Amino acid sequence: MPLTTPLTQQLGLVHPLIQGGMQWVGVAELVAAVSNAGALGILTALTQPNPAALRDEIRRTRKMLRPDVAKRCKLGPFGVNVTLLPSISPPDYPGYVQAALDEGVRIFETAGNNPGPVIKQIKDAGGFVIHKCTSVRHALSAQKLGVDMLSIDGFECAGHPGEDDIGGLVLMARAYEELKVPFVASGGIGNGQGLAAALALGAVGANMGTRFMCTKESTIHENIKRVIVDSDERATTHILRSLRNSARMHKNKISIEVLELEKQGAKFEQIQPLVSGQRGKTVYTTGDPDAGVWTLGIVCGLIHDIPSCKDLCEKMSADAEAHINRLASLTGGAQSASSSRQSHL
């Protein structure tokens, strides 16, 4: 039996899995493959240079979807990520959102500071908002803004984990204590065991980035996928901690150089050329892992293969159910697990 949670029920998914937004990675090929596999694929808006380009990418994604996927998904077969970055000259966030809305997208993953105006724009158009947070206090603020669901990022995640350094085990349990809207777990999840653990902690599913990077349909260079497979859980590091903008990255020559500069008290102007997004993009296009800094979660230690999105999602769901049933056998069997899961969610 497929796993059934508020995430699968509200969005018409087969598997309680989301492919979160990833700069340079969340493009049509991967997004369509994830949605075709029964999970939720999400395009990354800021990977596109402008709102018009996002429109084109949305149309390109739709062409790759199977006809039955759109019928199954209640609010649409995929979503769009809009991450609000601190910047002197911010991108045209309302323009990106409007472009997606005009193309019929109704599911959005939002993240970053001051999301209120963007959330209102989406909700006023009848959209569904999954807001990503790294702390319970920020999640409570987003809840007040009327988001439909939250994505709670533990310290294990790739990219920006916030500055509190709270691991998922405690953070998810705290979220379950405090939140009224459902949440998905993000950070450190890459197999069925992790999905089962997330459900036990009160989540309604899992949001994964690094694990989906390492799939056949991911467009990043095959050499980078191989680096991920060959890495263990010690292969990441945090940079920009001295600037209170911590980011978990692959531990390579560039990230180590950034750390040395931070130890010397360097200002951002000195570090910026090393952490430029364009250099990170070069990693994915050339396959050179030392071409720039690139995000990687510690879940890389659990990644041992490069499956199709379909095989990954099916195996994760099946393995999660097996772990749930294994735990249920401690107190009376699989039937108890099914009843417990429904009441818990």
pLDDT of residue 332: 76
Instruction: For residues 230 and 256, give the distance between their C-alpha atoms in angstroms, rounded to a whole number.
Output: 19
The tens place of each residue's pLDDT in the chain, 345 residues long, gives 689 999 999 999 999 999 999 999 999 999 999 999 999 999 999 999 999 999 999 999 999 999 999 888 889 999 999 999 877 789 999 999 999 999 999 999 999 989 999 999 999 999 999 999 999 999 999 999 999 999 999 999 999 999 999 999 999 999 999 999 999 999 999 999 999 999 999 999 999 999 999 999 999 999 999 999 999 999 999 999 999 999 999 999 999 999 999 999 999 999 999 999 999 999 999 999 999 999 999 999 999 999 999 999 999 999 999 999 999 999 975 554 455 444 444
Q: Is 325 exposed, middle or buried (0-12, 13-18, 19+ CB in 10 A)?
A: middle
Predicted pLDDT of residue 283: 98
Beta bridge partners of 130: 109, 149
For the chain, how far is it from start to end, CA to CA, in angstroms? 17
Give the whole-angstrom CA distance, residue 229 versus residue 305.
6
Specify whether domain 6-213 bears CATH 3.20.20.70.
yes
3-state SS string for the chain: CCCCCHHHHHHCCCCCEEECCCCCCCCHHHHHHHHHCCCEEEEEHHHCCCHHHHHHHHHHHHHHCCHHHHHHCCCCCEEEEEEECCCCCCCCHHHHHHHHHHCCCCEEEEEECCCHHHHHHHHHCCCEEEEEECCHHHHHHHHHCCCCEEEEECCCCCECCCCCCCCHHHHHHHHHHHCCCCEEEECCCCCHHHHHHHHHCCCCCEEECHHHHCCCCCCCCHHHHHHHHHCCCCCEEEECHHHCCCEEEECCHHHHHHHHHHHCCCCHHHHHHHHCHHHHHHHHHHCCCCCCCCECCHHHHHCCCCCCHHHHHHHHHHHHHHHHHHHHCCCCCHHHHHHHHHHHC
* pTM recorded for the entire structure: 0.94
Put the strands of the sheet holding 128-133 in their side by side order. 17-19, 206-208, 183-186, 149-153, 128-133, 107-112, 78-84, 41-44
Q: Where in the chain is the domain with CATH 3.20.20.70?
A: 6-213
Residue 207 is predicted with a pLDDT of 98
- Euclidean distance between CA atoms 229 and 249, whole angstroms: 15
Rounded to whole angstroms, the Cα distance separating 341 from 328 reads 10
Task: Tokens for 275, please give them.
Answer: 């952490």
CA distance 35 to 66: 9
